[in-house]
Amino acid sequence: MEKDQNQTEIKNTSNEKEENLDSKTSTNPEKEIQKEPEEKSPEEKILELEDKLARTFAEMENQRRRFEKEKEDAYEYGGFAFAKEALNLLDNLERSKQILSNDESLKNSEALKKTLDHFDIINKDLISIFSKNNIKPIESLNKKLDPNLHQAMIEIEDNQKEPGTIIQEIQKGFTIKDRLLRPALVGVAKKTENVAQKDEKNTDNLENK
């Protein structure tokens, strides 16, 4: 009897061991075995390297071009700020001329004439120096208003000129090479309004108020 029980226990133990072994060796459906990536062929590796080299060379060329452009700009426009400040000399000369010309005590005097002549000489010398350095005045009078070069400050009634034509130069503008140094401040022509139109506008303005 005891032998039968022992044999039964041995069989049960053996079955349990086999079940445990089977459970250990069985594949877990939740954990998939990761396949190792396929190794690239030599041809694919060469193509990949060629692509990387091409990209690197393209980036180096772009950087070279940027550096060349920056160097050129520094050489061509390095004096931009200085040139812009130097224009104040011309403005001050022009203001001085106007002040002296409007001085009643100096009008028609020989001293005033000589002084203005000297101012004109200095002005021409400055313009010549600027021109040699590619700083040139903008043509304005009798030209059509160009927003890239001119800045309209006032409108002046004038039926002899086409509307938008520059008929007054308040402050001269300048360019340096192909860049705007400062715009010309100008007055442009507009059509003269007749009395009836003005009265109608004034009436409309009063009604709106």
**pLDDT tens per residue across all 209 residues of the chain:** 544 554 555 555 555 555 554 544 445 544 445 555 567 787 887 888 888 888 887 888 887 787 777 666 655 666 778 888 888 888 898 889 889 888 888 888 888 899 999 999 998 998 898 888 888 999 999 999 999 999 999 999 988 889 999 999 999 999 988 889 999 999 999 988 764 455 555 556 556 65
Structural domain count, the chain: 2
Whether residue 201 is found in the same domain as residue 146: yes
- How far apart CA 185 and CA 141 sit, in angstroms, is 11
Looking at residue 206, which CATH number applies to its domain?
2.30.22.10
pLDDT (0 to 100) of residue 196:
47
Whether residue 141 is found in the same domain as residue 124: no
User: Of 133, 163, 184, which marks where a domain is finished?
Assistant: 133
Hey, what amino acid is at 202? N
User: Of 110, 133, 156, which marks where a domain is finished?
Assistant: 133
Please, which residues have CB within 8 angstroms of residue 177's CB and are 6 or more apart in sequence?
76, 77, 134
- How far apart CA 82 and CA 95 sit, in angstroms, is 21
Angle, in degrees to the nearest 10, between helices 110-132 and 80-101: 160
For the record, the structure tokens of 106 come out as 């100096």
Q: Within a domain: residue 56?
A: no
Eight-class DSSP state of 26:
S
User: Of 133, 151, 183, which marks where a domain is finished?
Assistant: 133
- 13, 138, 191 from 167: Cα distances, Å: 116, 14, 13
Q: Within a domain: residue 3?
A: no
Whether residue 117 is found in the same domain as residue 156: no
pLDDT (0 to 100) of residue 84:
84
Q: Within a domain: residue 17?
A: no
Q: Within a domain: residue 41?
A: no
Q: Within a domain: residue 37?
A: no
pLDDT (0 to 100) of residue 72:
66
Q: Within a domain: residue 168?
A: yes
Residues spanned by the domain of 147: 136-209
Whether residue 181 is found in the same domain as residue 147: yes
Q: Can you count the helices (H) and strands (E) in the chain?
A: 5, 6
Whether residue 149 is found in the same domain as residue 94: no
Q: Within a domain: residue 163?
A: yes
Q: Within a domain: residue 191?
A: yes
For the record, the structure tokens of 21 come out as 């072994």
pLDDT (0 to 100) of residue 21:
46
Cβ atoms of 187 and 168 closer than 8 Å = yes
pTM: 0.55
Supply angle C-alpha 13, 19, 24, rounded to 5. Answer: 130
- How far apart CA 183 and CA 170 sit, in angstroms, is 11
